[in-house]
């Protein structure tokens, strides 16, 4: 369940937004029920949208498993060491 950011948003702004969202999930889930479905695992599931460069930069630090593969699949780039087909 990644957030949606326009590509014109500066990478640093998206990095900080992603970082803040993931670091405050406990609180955010009390603000709105949709946040209860958000987790580091939900970033790579349920979407085929490209991940903003700022969000991608933060994901390894947040322990998002499979983020490199997700980005490769959603950006139509080959996954290193793996056939696309």
Residue 1: pLDDT over 50 = no
Residue of 5 and 8 predicted with greater confidence: 8
Residue 54 forms part of a structural domain = yes
Domain of residue 49: give its range.
Answer: 11-74
Is 21 a member of any domain? yes
The answer as to whether 81 is a domain residue is no
**Domain membership flag for residue 53:** yes
The answer as to whether 39 is a domain residue is yes
- 48 lies in some domain: yes
In the chain, the number of structural domains is 1
For the residues of 4-37, what is the DSSP string, one character each? Answer: ---TTS-HHHHHHHHHHHHHTHHHHHHH-GGGGG
The residue count of the chain comes to 85
| Residue 31 included in any domain | yes
Residue 5 lies in a domain: no
Give residue-wise pLDDT tens across range 26-65.
898 899 888 888 877 777 776 667 777 888 888 888 888 8
Residue 35 is encoded by which pair of tokens?
A: 């946040």
Task: For residue 21, name the pLDDT band (cuts at 50, 70, 90).
Answer: confident
Q: Taking a C-beta distance cutoff of 8 angstroms, is the pair 52, 12 a contact? A: no
């Amino acid at each position: 369940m990644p957030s949606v950011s326009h590509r014109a948003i500066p990478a640093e702004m998206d990095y900080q937004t992603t970082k803040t969202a993931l670091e405050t999930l406990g609180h955010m889930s009390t603000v709105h029920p949709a946040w209860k479905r958000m987790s580091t695992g939900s970033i790579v599931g349920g979407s085929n949208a490209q991940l903003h460069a700022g969000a991608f930069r933060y994901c390894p630090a947040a322990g998002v498993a499979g983020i490199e593969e997700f980005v490769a699949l959603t950006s139509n780039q080959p996954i290193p060491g793996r056939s696309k087909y």
